[in-house]
Structure 1
C-alpha cells in the first residue's frame, strides 16, 4: 500500500466522508451490537501490514479475504458498512472500514480518534499477513505487531479494544463469552478485569493473560487499569497509528 497513489481527496470526497461518518454514527448508535465486529473489521484490514515489505495494511482488501480463518464473522461487518458505501460511493473501502472503526469506538463511549481520509483501495490484493492467534505468547504478539511497525505500548493499548465484544466458538475455538461485564461499552474495564484474574463468565485468552506475565506489557496494563484517561489517550494514538499503516497521510 505504501507505494500506491493517495486517493484524490477533493471537496466532493470530503463531503462524502462526512456523510459516511454521520451515517455510520447513526447506524451504530441505533445498532450498538455491531460496534465490536465493525471495530474488528478495521483492525483486521489494517493488521496485515508488513513494515519491511510495505505490503498489506488498511487498503480495503479484507473484503476479498473472508476465507482466511481469522476473518470468520467479518462479513457481517462488511455487509453493515455496505449500506453506507451505497450512499457514499466515492468513499474507498479502505477509508470506510477505518472510519467505521473510529466511529464504533466513539459511539460506545471511547475516545475521539482523529481520522485523515485518502487511503486507496487494493481490490485485487489478497493479503496473507498473519493476525494474532489468541493462544499465542508474548513473543507471538511481538512478532505480529512488530512486523506492522508497532511497539509494546501499542500492543497493550490495542488489546484494550476487548472491552467491546465477546469470543465466539466459530472464530476462536475453545472460547465463548464476553471479556467484560458490559461488552457494548468502551472503557478500561478490560484491564480492570485482567487484574482480577479469572472471573466466572468472562473470557481471557492466553494473549490477554500474557499482558500480566510479561513485565514490559504489565506496566502498561496496570497503568490503564488505574487510569482510564491515560488509557483513552494512548489507545486513540495507537488506533490512529494502526489505521494509517502504510498510508502516507497528508498532514
Structure 2
C-alpha cells in the first residue's frame, strides 16, 4: 500500500459562485483589477496629466443634482455629446489617452474573466494614478535622490484606497450644471457650496455645511486647473480661501506634505462617490475549490 493512501480522502471540484465569494476573495479580485488598471495607466499617463485627469473627475461628478439624484460620477463625460460641450472639450486629448489604456486593460481583464473596466472607475483610477505620480515628483524635488524620494513616498505616503465597481451611464448628464471654463472665485465658491448639499438655500448658525465647503473646494478645484498656483491665487482673493491657502501652504512646505495629502484624499473620496451606482459583483468571477467527500 502506498504510504498515506489510507488517510487520503477523495475530492471533488466545486464552483463557488460570485455571490458566495468571501469578502477577502472579492477584495483580492478587485485588487487585481485595480493593479492591472494602474499598470496600464502608468504607461500612458505622466505627472503632467494629473490636472486634466482630475478635471475629468470634477466635471463628471460635478453634474450631480442632489434634489433629483441625477448626474454624478457615472462616466458619461466621455460620451460625445457631453465631451463636446464648451466646458468639457478641453478633455478630448486626455480621453484619447485613457481610451488607449482602457483597450489594454479590457483585453487582459476579459482574458482573466473579470470583464471590462467601467469608464467611471477608469476616470477615478486615472486621477489617482497621475496625482500620485505628481506627488512623488514633488517629493523627489525635496529629497536628495530618487531612493530617498522612494522612502519618503513609501514610509510617509498617504494611504489612498478607492472603491471600484461603478456602473457607467449611457445617457449624457443634463447640460448647464457645471462651471464655465473661467469662473470667478465667487462662482467657484457658490458652485461647490451647493454640490451635494441637501441644505442649499437654508441659512443659520446651526445649518450644516455642504460636503464641499471652502476647505474642500480649495483643494479639489485648484488641483484640477491647468495652472493650479494661479487658480489658488484667484480663490485667495476671498478671505475664507486665503486662510485655507495659508494652512495648506504650511503643510506643502514640509517634506511629507501629510496634512495636505490626507485632506485631499478625503475630498477626492467624497467627490468620486457623488451619484455613483455600484455593482457589488463587478470584476468578480466564480472560483473552483477542491472539496473532500
TM-score when normalising by structure 1: 0.70
Provide closer, same or farther for how the CA distance between residues 134 and 81 of structure 1 changes in structure 2, counting only shifts above 3 A: closer
The 1-side partners of 2:194 and 2:165 are apart by: 23
Aligned residue among 151, 169, 181 for 2:213: 151
The 2-side partners of 1:14 and 1:123 are apart by: 26
Aligned residue among 83, 88, 92 for 1:71: 88
Q: Which protein has greater RCO, CA pairs closer than 8 Å, 6+ apart?
A: 2
The 1-side partners of 2:62 and 2:49 are apart by: 20
The 2-side partners of 1:40 and 1:122 are apart by: 19
2:128 matched to 1:102?
A: yes
The 1-side partners of 2:38 and 2:240 are apart by: 36
1:59–1:94: 8 Å Cα contact kept in structure 2? Answer: yes
- Equivalence map 1:1-251=2 (5 Å): 14-28=31-45, 31-64=46-79, 65-89=82-106, 90-109=116-135, 113-133=160-180, 135-149=182-196, 150-161=212-223, 166=226, 178-179=227-228, 190=229, 204=230, 208-228=232-252, 229=257, 230-247=259-276
* TM-superposed deviation, 1:40: 1.9
* TM-superposed deviation, 1:63: 1.1
The 2-side partners of 1:127 and 1:93 are apart by: 18
Gaps of 5+ in 1: 1-8, 167-177, 180-189, 191-203
The 1-side partners of 2:183 and 2:249 are apart by: 22
Gaps of 5+ in 2: 1-22, 107-115, 137-157, 197-211, 281-293
C-alpha RMSD of matched pairs (Å):
2.6
Provide closer, same or farther for how the CA distance between residues 56 and 129 of structure 1 changes in structure 2, counting only shifts above 3 A: farther
Provide closer, same or farther for how the CA distance between residues 215 and 33 of structure 1 changes in structure 2, counting only shifts above 3 A: closer
Task: Tell me whether 47-56 or 61-70 shows the greater mean CA deviation.
Answer: 47-56
* TM-superposed deviation, 1:14: 4.7
* TM-superposed deviation, 1:87: 2.4
Task: Tell me whether 33-42 or 233-242 shows the greater mean CA deviation.
Answer: 33-42
The 2-side partners of 1:25 and 1:224 are apart by: 28
1:85–1:91: 8 Å Cα contact kept in structure 2? Answer: yes
TM-score when normalising by structure 2: 0.61
Report the secondary structure of 1:69's partner residue: coil
